Structures are given as structure tokens and as C-alpha cells.
Chains A and B, each alone.
Chain A
């Protein structure tokens, strides 16, 4: 009986941790941004302003949920659900500690990539169904950006896959027992980090919402909890990419003294903070710069990385 209940327990724990963390990240991000910009940030509600999370959630849940009459109603409602669903489903293959994983698929990495490629629909459909030119522009930008960056996101991971000889995430973590893959795969790590930022549409790659030119891009027409879904979905995406970076390049749960799950949490949290620091530090590029950078610099570099890694592994055999 215990065997049957264990996966359900894991699912419950993962859902609880991820959803709470993504809500909490709203506060973390605002406080950290404030720290780096020499301000205080939200510090009024509760200790350290922690009550801000609760206040924000209550605000989002009780706001009027307005669907514009000119929108394509079924697609408009479907779009915000897709982003949260795909990024939450991705956590099914993420191993938090040895044995603590919902589904240890032998195609774990491909599952992650497949889910992230389905996540594009959310933004594209939101932009299209809003029937608003700014939303449409945001949706088109998002589609072009995410498709281009997905290509070398997959390619940059393949170096780690070659070194570990498996698509299974637990195997990849175990293969890093001697040396974290960030050392032999440094180029792959940098490429994946950039692709991850672009894939989650965070600054400096947030051209799909670019509030100074497109109001809010694809979610201009959204309000209430539907907007909240995009908001939370973005943070879940950030957690997912950070977790993927720590699993694929920084040895996941491996580490001395501390329990495995704690190591994993520390590493993931470090990359989440890096994401926020990037937002505080970098300006937004122009859209054509973003596209030509992706296709003309990142893609060839990812291919070279793959070629060299493959050649070295073959030569060593």
C-alpha cells in the first residue's frame, strides 16, 4: 500500500513547494531588486514585508475577472491555463533528491524540452485571442523569440547528455559525482542560461511584454487571476530553469555534509537570485538584435560545443 501512496505524496509535496515558492518569489524579487537599486522595497506588511505575498494574492483573487467582448472567448480562457499546466507538469521529471521524483522517465530531458515548447502556445494564443494590436505584436514577438531560442536550448543540453550517456535526469546527476558538468560544459552552461532567460521571457529578453513599447504585450487584456496565472507561470518557469541548470551542470543534489534535498534547494535558489540580478542589471535589446544574436551567434556556438564534446568523448574511448 505504501508503494501506491508514495508517488501521490511526492506530487503533493512538489505542488505545495513549487506553488508556494512561486508566490513567495514575487516578494523575494521585489526585495532583492530594491536592495540592488538602493531602496527598501515592500517592508510594511508583516515582518520584513512578508505579508505582502498574502496581500498580493488576495488582491489578485478578488479583482474583477474581465473578459473583453471582442476577445475570442474559449482561447482567451485557455491561454493562461496552458502556461501554468505545462510548467507544473515539467516538474514531474525533476529529481529533488535520490528517489524523490514523480516519474523517473528515461527521456527526462526530452520531456522538459517538450513541455517548454508547448508553453509557447500560452503566450501566442493569449496575444492572438485578445484581439488587440499590442497583444498581437507581443504574441508574434514571443513566438519568434521562443522558437529561435528553443533550438539551441536543446542543443546546449546535449553536451551533458553525451557525457552522462543518458537522457534520464537521475543518471545525469549521478554522472557528476566526480566533477560537475559546468567544468567540461562551460559553454553549454552559458548557452543554456541565456536560452533559459529567453524561454521564460524574463528581462533582458522580455520583449513580448516590453511595457514601455507594448503596454504589457500579450497580457494587456488580462485581469484578475487570469493575469495572476501568467504572473505565477513566469515564476514557475524561473524555478524550473534554475532547477534544470543545477541538475544538468551543477550536480543537482550532490554535495558534502548537508542533506541532498537541501543542496538542491540551495543551488536552485542561487540561480533564481541570478535571474533576478540579471533583471536588475541589464537593459533590453532591440528585437532584431535578439533574433540575429540567437541565430547567428548562439546556434553556431551550440553546434560547435556539441561537435567538440562528441569528438572528445569518441577520442577518449
Chain B
């Protein structure tokens, strides 16, 4: 189990590094998916199969599909590669690397001072997770769902507004062309016959 843990950990780190350094947007996303799957294996080995399944279903299976979907739809891979080339210059690595170093220091300090090692034995089933979420932490769950709901309503409102506007614009412009050219079918037909007569 410990070997599996470290193997999945190394895999996650390598995949994440590749996800950052890949210039091609879709390839980077694929590495990110591998990294998420590796993290799911970590959860599983640590005795949280429920969290592992949710990680795969929600992050790898739903959110990342949306990412891939958007990248595919906009077909921005070519342009994004140019932008990436600029932002992957060594100079731009300095700031984030410093910040990450601080985090690493904190992590090392914490692991050095506390004796607790992560247990690889206890298994947390779906029932415990559910009880914790809807027992102790239900306010958090409710707040998160409110936030998501607000986001959903907002996105719906923005999208609907634009569609309605476009449709209105379309209708007025077709009406305008119709009156300009008098190309209405009935008019054209009747006009034609009157000319002929």
C-alpha cells in the first residue's frame, strides 16, 4: 500500500509539472486529468474510497470534460500556444516559485514538528462522509449550494439576455430589409402580375 501511495504521488507530481509546461492546451488538460486520477488513487490508498470516486466523477469526469469541451469549441489551441510561449519564459517562473517555496517550507515545518503520520489503515465509507457533511458541516454545504445556485441563475440571466437581444436584432433587421427591398413574397408576386397586365 505504501509503495502504491508513493507511486501515485510521483505520478501526480510529474503529470502536474507536464500540465504546466505543455504548450498545447489540450495536451496540458490531458496531463491535468492524469494528475487528478493519480490524486484519486492517493485518496483510495489513504482509506477514503468515497472521496476517490467523487474526485474521478466530478473533477476528472465532469469539470475537465467541460474544459476540454470549451477548448475544442473555441479551437483556441493555436493562439494559446503563442501566449503560453510568452508566459513560460524563465523570468515568469520566479514569483510563483518563491511563493511555492514558502508553502513548501510550511509543509516541511508542519511534518517535522507534528508526529502524526497519515494512516493507511482506517477506511472512511460513504456513510461517515455523508454524516459529517450533513451533520457537523451542514452550514458549509448549504452555503456552497447557495453560491452555486446564484452562479447558475446569474449565468442563465446573462445568456438569456444576449440571446433575446440577438433575436430581436435579427427580427428588426429582417423587417428592415423587407421594407427596403419590398421583397416580400406576396408583394413581389402581385407587383409582377400588375406590371405584366
Contact = CB atoms under 8 A, between A and B. Distances in A.
Nearest to B53: A110
Contacts of B27: 74-75
Contact of B62 (A106, A111, A117, A144): A117
B69 A114 contact: no
Interface string B43-67: 0000001100110110011100110
A106 B126 contact: yes
Contacts of B18: none
Contacts of A127: 72
B26 A105 contact: no
A78 B54 CA distance: 24
A68 B54 CA distance: 37
B68 interface: yes
B72 A124 contact: yes
B73 A107 contact: no
A14 interface: no
Nearest to A129: B26
Contacts of B32: none
A128 B68 contact: yes
Contacts of A107: 49-50, 53, 126
Contacts of A114: 53, 56-57, 60-61
A124 B65 contact: yes
Give the size category of B's interface with A. 20 to 34
A201 B135 CA distance: 40
B26 A75 contact: yes
Contacts of A74: 27
Contacts of B20: none
A124 B57 CA distance: 16
Nearest to B49: A107
A106 B56 contact: no
B30 interface: yes
A173 interface: no
B191 to A, nearest CB: 37
A106 to B, nearest CB: 6
Nearest to A154: B57
B33 interface: yes
B69 A110 contact: no
Interface of A: 72, 74-75, 78, 105-107, 110-111, 113-114, 117-118, 120-121, 124-125, 127-128, 136, 139-140, 143-144, 147, 150, 154, 167
Interface of B: 26-27, 30, 33, 49-50, 53-54, 56-57, 60-62, 65-66, 68-69, 72-73, 125-126
Q: Which 5 A-B pairs have the closest CB atoms?
A: A117-B61, A110-B53, A114-B56, A114-B57, A143-B69
21 contacts: A74-B27, A75-B27, A75-B30, A105-B49, A106-B49, A106-B126, A107-B49, A110-B57, A111-B53, A113-B57, A114-B56, A117-B56, A125-B30, A127-B72, A139-B72, A140-B69, A140-B73, A143-B72, A147-B66, A147-B69, A167-B126
